[in-house]
Structure 1
Amino acid sequence: MENKPKLVIIVGSVREGRFGPVVASWVAQQAALHGVFEVDVVDLAEFDVPLALPAASPKHAGTNYPRPDGMTALTSALTDADAFVVVTPEYNHSYPASLKAAIDWHFTQWAAKSVAFVSYGGAAGGRHAVLHLENVLTELHAVTVRDGLAFPNYFTLWQDGRPLDPGSAAYARIVLDQLAWWAIALRSAREAVPYSG
């Protein structure tokens, strides 16, 4: 496919010893095998994303929003993306503050773009985090796809950088199929009529 949609895989945790980069690497491999997307992995630990926000809202300031220089590459990656996979753990039945800060520093970057979730954690596999993220990103006019991947008890069910469940790759393809359909449809719509939000 020419002019492939751009997929940004976001590593949401910045905690020391986090498992997120392992999961994101595997997701990137699955996306490369899927073949529809141009794939980029964005690790929030590589950026300066402050918790304190300016008084103005990014919803109204648009491209003039005063972001720190250390966030320039992150903003550019989110702006250029047609779709996202958010890789998140579950902390206290929700998602990391680092991820919330990255979301809150941006607004138009999420609008009318598709988002899928890959979560990991204990018994729930990070599903509580995903439920919260779905609410937040819907508020920012993103389109969350129905299916996602959740890895409960990941600490015993992954080995050598991949899940032990042989069905995981097939299910990842289902998620990527949904994400690709929406990414292509939404990109065409944004090109035909700019999204007003």
Structure 2
Amino acid sequence: MSNLKIGVVISSTRATRFGDKPAQWILDKANAHGGIDAELLDLRDFDLPFFDEAASNLWMPSSDPRAVAWQNKLAEFDGFIFVIAEYNRSITGALKNALDQSYKEWNRKPFGIVGYGTVGAARAAEHLRGIGVELQMVSTRSAVHIGGSDFFAVHPLGQQNKPFSEIEGSIGPSANDMLDQLVWWGNATKSAR
């Protein structure tokens, strides 16, 4: 069976975001895992407008060419890994808007989560899983939560700014488990689609 094409979505668009660091880490792990060809999908690169279509693209084609370009890109993938920050106990507004800009292209595909912040984006991950259900997606059970002392060890605000290899022992096993589940669900949903 051919490798799954997995999009690693960076959900924050802020100039000072931290998301690049965990996104590159999970991208490298995914590509080394086996069964996956992963590619970064940076929301900054798509200049998505706020959702303003007459309806979801499930019901009618989108009119904004930026939304259509996003949908066409998503259609290339067999699944996704969302790298999420937690903003006020939920996902970023940029990610919610990106999720809303498409519907059909998310359907029947799995996703994993890499969350970061003081509580490892646990509350945002639960919100994302609920949105994923509505988009007819399959969430992996396992996720990576970079929180607490691990977060402050690798984040510049923690004044240590260590490389991810320093926290690999505590987050690596959950990443491997999540990737194993993503491959299983990705193969199952790909063959069913």
TM value normalised by structure 2? 0.89
The letter for the 2-side match of 1:55 is A
CA distance in 2, matches of 1:67, 1:4: 32
Residue of structure 2 in register with 1:148 after alignment: 143
- Structure 2 unmatched ranges of 5 or more: 155-161
Of 150, 171, 174, 1:171 maps to 174
Q: Secondary structure at the match of 1:66?
A: coil
Task: Tell me by how many angstroms 1:69 deviates.
Answer: 3.5
- Residues 51 and 101 in structure 2, CA contact (< 8 A), matched pair in contact too: no
- Structure 1 unmatched ranges of 5 or more: 191-197
Q: Secondary structure at the match of 2:116?
A: strand
Residue of structure 1 in register with 2:159 after alignment: none
The letter for the 2-side match of 1:83 is G
The letter for the 2-side match of 1:187 is K
CA distance in 2, matches of 1:161, 1:45: 23
Of 70, 75, 84, 1:79 maps to 75
Q: What pairs with 1:1-197 in structure 2 (closer than 5 Å)?
A: 2-61=1-60, 64-69=61-66, 72=69, 74-122=70-118, 124-153=119-148, 155-158=151-154, 159-162=162-165, 164-190=167-193
Closer/same/farther in 2, CA of residues 36 and 71 from structure 1, 3 Å limit: same
Root-mean-square deviation over aligned CA pairs:
1.6
CA distance in 2, matches of 1:71, 1:58: 9
CA distance in 2, matches of 1:8, 1:183: 12
Closer/same/farther in 2, CA of residues 56 and 71 from structure 1, 3 Å limit: closer
Task: Tell me by how many angstroms 1:161 deviates.
Answer: 4.5
TM value normalised by structure 1? 0.88
Runs of 4+ deviating beyond 6 Å: none
Residue of structure 2 in register with 1:195 after alignment: none
> May I ask how many residue pairs the two structures share in their alignment?
185
Task: Tell me by how many angstroms 1:54 deviates.
Answer: 1.3
